[in-house]
Amino acid sequence: MVFWASTFIMVILPAMMMEVEPSDIWRPWTPDEQAGNKLYVTNGCSYCHSQFVRTMDWERGAERIAQAGDYYGQTPAILGTERTGPDLSQEGGERSDDWHTAHFINPRYTSPISLMPSWEFLGDEKIRLLTAYLQGKGGKNADVRFDRQKYWRKPAVKAYESGPDKNIQWLHSKIPDVWRNMPNPYPALEPDLLRGKKMYQQYCIGCHGPVGDGQVPAAKYINPPPLNFTALRRNLAQGRYIGGILYYQIMNGITGTAMPYFKRDLESDKIWAISNYVGVYFIGYTDAGIEPRGIEASYEPQWQNPYLTTETNEPNSVPEK
């Protein structure tokens, strides 16, 4: 009697009194999303991924705090409590379909230090349904993000198919002038390059490869394929600034492609370190320390950029790794 009385007071009565209305972003699931949700539940995805954003969260999806009405009509609402992997409540449109396909095939393709197991055994159709479910997470907000991905995919693919030079020219043309004319403010010192190498290995090597040419297993699932950094060398004659360009693309990603944004994963210093590492070892040039420059930070030693000649600011040869 005590047990059932407690159950009635703490479970049944609140459920009877609860009246939840759809939130402003709620919409019904599509048939593909419904099927994807079933796969998500039956394969235990909620053991590692939650589906709610709290006030103290700051990672992906933190633009919106979760509301009860977001889960209207979901019975039961599989929210999860563990965050071994990232929260998925606002995952829709954050990344491209290509990214998700490669990630399900082998999570290390897109997230080199991921603990997630491979789901390749599910087959293409079930992976497509799981992807559709994730791309719907966030409701109407996700639809806006996903439409943006589709909008930019066409010109991104067209630019890639036009050849490396046209592709890089198109990519750079979509970066604001203030970033295109901004050199790297951090010297390319050996400790900074080593930090950049570590960050590159943790976040970038799966898609861009150990030598930065994009020739990796994930490439066959991604269109347009990952950017070949070594192809940037021929574009240096068009402008000496690459630090701000790389920073902007790492920070914001390239919508419409499988290149996600990292502004929620990496603070500023780490992004600049990756920019220097990519510039020095894959392009053979870094614009660190050139004009325009401000007051140097107090902790930085005196440093002269060894990757420029003093007469022309042209890049020297690629240093030994």
What's 48-109 look like in SS3? CCCCCCCCCCCCCCCCCCCCHHHHCCCCCCCCCCCCCCCCCCCCCCCCCHHHHHHHHHCHHH
**CATH no. for residue 38?**
1.10.760.10
Q: Say what the pLDDT of residue 237 is.
A: 44
Q: Which of 145, 167, 199 is the last residue of a domain?
A: 145
pLDDT(29) > 50? yes
* Radius of gyration of the chain measured on its C-alpha atoms: 23
Q: Which of 201, 183, 281 is nearest to 239 (CA)?
A: 183
Confidence of residue 276 (pLDDT cuts 50, 70, 90): very high
| Residue 13 covered by a domain | no
CA dist 37 and 318 (Å) reads 49
| Residue 160 covered by a domain | no
Q: Are residues 140 and 179 in the same domain?
A: no
User: Would you give the distance in Å from CA 307 to the centre of its chain?
Assistant: 30
Confidence of residue 309 (pLDDT cuts 50, 70, 90): low
Longest dimension (CA), the chain: 90
Q: Are residues 181 and 306 in the same domain?
A: yes
Q: Are residues 181 and 314 in the same domain?
A: yes
| Residue 11 covered by a domain | no
Q: Say what the pLDDT of residue 39 is.
A: 97
pLDDT(321) > 50? no
Instruction: Tell me the pLDDT tens digit for each residue of 98-126.
Output: 999 999 999 999 999 999 999 999 999 99
Mean pLDDT of 22-34: 96
Domain that holds residue 91: 19-145
Mean pLDDT of 228-245: 75
Q: Are residues 129 and 185 in the same domain?
A: no
Instruction: Tell me the pLDDT tens digit for each residue of 135-151.
Output: 999 999 999 999 999 99
As for how many domains the chain has, the answer is 2
Q: Say what the pLDDT of residue 238 is.
A: 45
Q: Are residues 26 and 119 in the same domain?
A: yes
Q: Are residues 81 and 128 in the same domain?
A: yes
Q: Are residues 47 and 125 in the same domain?
A: yes
| Residue 168 covered by a domain | no
Q: Are residues 179 and 317 in the same domain?
A: yes
Q: Are residues 221 and 115 in the same domain?
A: no
CA dist 173 and 160 (Å) reads 14
Q: Are residues 269 and 197 in the same domain?
A: yes
Q: Are residues 209 and 271 in the same domain?
A: yes
Element (H, E) at 143: helix 139-161
| Residue 5 covered by a domain | no
pTM of the model: 0.87
Residue type, 74: Q
Mean pLDDT for the chain overall: 90
| Residue 191 covered by a domain | yes
| Residue 151 covered by a domain | no
Q: Are residues 133 and 180 in the same domain?
A: no
Rounded to the nearest 10 degrees, what angle do helices 164-173 and 139-161 cross at? 140
| Residue 298 covered by a domain | yes
